[in-house]
A and B are shown apart, each in its own frame.
Chain A
Amino acid sequence: MAYSEKVIDHYENPRNVGSFDKGDESVGTGMVGAPACGDVMKLQIKVGKDGIIEDARFKTYGCGSAIASSSLVTEWVKGKKLDEAAGIKNTQIAAELSLPPVKIHCSILAEDAIKAAVEDYKKKHQ
């Protein structure tokens, strides 16, 4: 399968790889997918006192498109308010990376990962 240049770039030079401490009050963690399906994404956001996402980290088990999708969204969420981040649509991710139809599920997973991370942060601060 031919990958787009942007997928290859994110795959070869993934941005923001790593983990924050899950227990940290300022951190929201989202983990989506299942090993049996071939993809698991963990996305973490670090949120400032002003409610702006200051930083993000990811780890992904999955194909090149799954890794690229999660790498891309760690860049996109930075500087955004929580609700803005949760509003990122999978179609935007798929368009940016020129994902073929069989890889659309990777972008859906990335969208789900952001929503799960925002949800986790909000739960901590209810």
Chain B
Amino acid sequence: MTKPALSFPIYLDYSATTPVDPRVAQKMIPYLTEHYGNPASRSHALGWKAEEAVEEARENVAALVRCDARELVWTSGATESINLALKGAAEFYKSKGKHLVTVKTEHKATLDTMRELERRGFEVTYLDVGADGLLDLNQLEGALRKDTILASVMFVNNEIGVIQDIAAIGEMCRQKGILFHVDSAQATGKCDIDLQSLKVDLMSFSAHKTYGPKGVGALFVRRKPRVRLEAQMHGGGHERGFRSGTLATHQIAGMGEAFRLAKLEMAAECHRIRALRDNLLAGIRQMEEVFVNGDLVRRVPHNLNVSFNFVEGESLIMAVKDIAVSSGSACTSASLEPSYVLRALGRSDELAHSSIRFTLGRFTTQEEIDYTADHLRAKVAKLRDLSPLWEMHKDGIDLSTVQWAAH
């Protein structure tokens, strides 16, 4: 049997976005051309057909995360869900207190929304994480105050894939009467999410990280105990007044189908992807001076974030142009700022600069992983031959003792 031909670039950036599963695309198409009614139209069959699709999708999303379908609000994506959850809850409950708590390694959607709330007069505590990327619950407890109204913690980190202890954080917040929002954009289809048992009040979802289309997401808003929000988008009063705007039937149908498939296939898929990820790691570990960023056990199987010491990240990304991956460093910025997530783990500038995030997914194959590991070994070796730091390391010089002429 001949090996299937590889097509380039090899996509290992599934945490940036996933392709739409062809089965999901098929589900969406009729709602563009055939069943094009407005789901809010109550006066004719086209409207009813569209509404039926929206409610079927809502049931499918609810089934994956074990909540009541009536607890879900459609949005344009996780960023909007997070904005609605944080601003909506903060504004509604501000008479109870004006203190909010989050974590330094959260996604910018959360951090930037928190910054906006600071401008509006709220006070925000940004918690550190350990070297493993995980939040220390004692530290969290110490940060919660009498006037704290809301905590926000992501389920799965987008850069390093570590899984926070959402169950324990939820217990702590519920006990103290603090609302708890969880950003689950990177968790659906990768982690078991049970909103029946988790003490989570608000949870944000995205479709396009789980083989659905871009431009659609959802926010879970708990009914018991009831959570109230101030709407951020005003208009026709859609979604029980939480989020006005005509529902995008085809997008919503796609998200529903994507989440239905995730529920069916998640267990087998995670098992298969874990084996591929472990093979990739074994291939990379044949090299010296490579470091995995973040805890390797409490992590989704899809993610591998590795620093290649003495190799600069942007040149490595350039060297592995056959592979679509992302660098920890923001390489388009003039300041060459390394990843704030890796800095929060206490990684040195050099290691933070030399990181690559590999994220695997539904369509990743063993052949692609083999190619990637071989290719990386060759390119890292070439760049190390070019690296004065590698030469100094090999000569036994401790780089932390060198006085650099900073520029």
Contact = CB atoms under 8 A, between A and B. Distances in A.
Interface of A: 1, 3, 11, 14, 17, 19, 31-42, 59-64, 66-67, 101-102, 105, 108-109, 112
B311 A64 contact: no
A15 B407 CA distance: 25
Contact of A19 (B332, B334, B353, B391): B391
B309 to A, nearest CB: 10
A59 B387 contact: yes
Interface in B364-407: 385-391, 399, 404-407
A37 B336 contact: yes
Nearest to A1: B332
A64 B390 CA distance: 17
A34 B391 contact: no
- Residue among A3, A33, A64, A101 having the largest count of chain B Cβ atoms under 10 Å: A64
B318 A62 contact: no
26 contacts: A17-B386, A19-B391, A31-B388, A34-B404, A34-B407, A35-B350, A35-B353, A35-B399, A36-B349, A36-B404, A37-B349, A38-B338, A38-B353, A40-B389, A41-B388, A61-B312, A61-B386, A61-B387, A61-B388, A63-B318, A63-B336, A67-B386, A101-B334, A102-B333, A105-B334, A108-B407
Interface in B329-354: 329, 331-334, 336, 338, 349-350, 353
B315 interface: yes
A64 B388 contact: no
Contact of B329 (A19, A32, A38): A38
B310 interface: yes
Contact of A63 (B314, B349, B389, B404): B314
Given A32-B407, A63-B336, A64-B314, 10 more contacts: A1-B332, A19-B391, A36-B349, A37-B406, A59-B391, A61-B311, A62-B312, A63-B314, A66-B315, A67-B315
B399 to A, nearest CB: 7
B405 A33 contact: yes
A63 B315 contact: yes
B382 to A, nearest CB: 9
Interface of B: 310-312, 314-315, 318, 329, 331-334, 336, 338, 349-350, 353, 385-391, 399, 404-407
- Residue among B312, B333, B388, B390 having the largest count of chain A Cβ atoms under 10 Å: B388
A59 B386 contact: yes
Contacts of A37: 336, 349, 406-407
B315 A34 contact: no
A34 B406 contact: yes
B388 A14 contact: no
A112 B407 contact: yes
- Residue among A63, A64, A67 having the largest count of chain B Cβ atoms under 10 Å: A63
A63 B388 CA distance: 13
A48 to B, nearest CB: 25
A38 B350 CA distance: 7
Contacts of A35: 349-350, 353, 389, 399, 404
Contacts of B311: 61
A67 B316 CA distance: 12
B359 to A, nearest CB: 21
B379 to A, nearest CB: 11
Per CB-CB distance, the 9 closest pairs between chain A and chain B, nearest first, are A34-B404, A36-B349, A42-B388, A59-B388, A63-B314, A102-B334, A35-B350, A38-B336, A34-B406
A62 B349 contact: no
Contacts of B404: 33-36, 40
Contacts of B353: 35, 38
A119 to B, nearest CB: 12
A28 B334 CA distance: 31
A106 B209 CA distance: 36
Nearest to B333: A102
A99 to B, nearest CB: 12
B407 A60 contact: no
Given A61-B311, A62-B312, A3 B389 contact: no
Given A31-B388, A35-B350, A40-B389, A64 B407 contact: no
Contact of A105 (B318, B331, B387, B407): B407
A70 B368 CA distance: 34
A64 B331 CA distance: 11
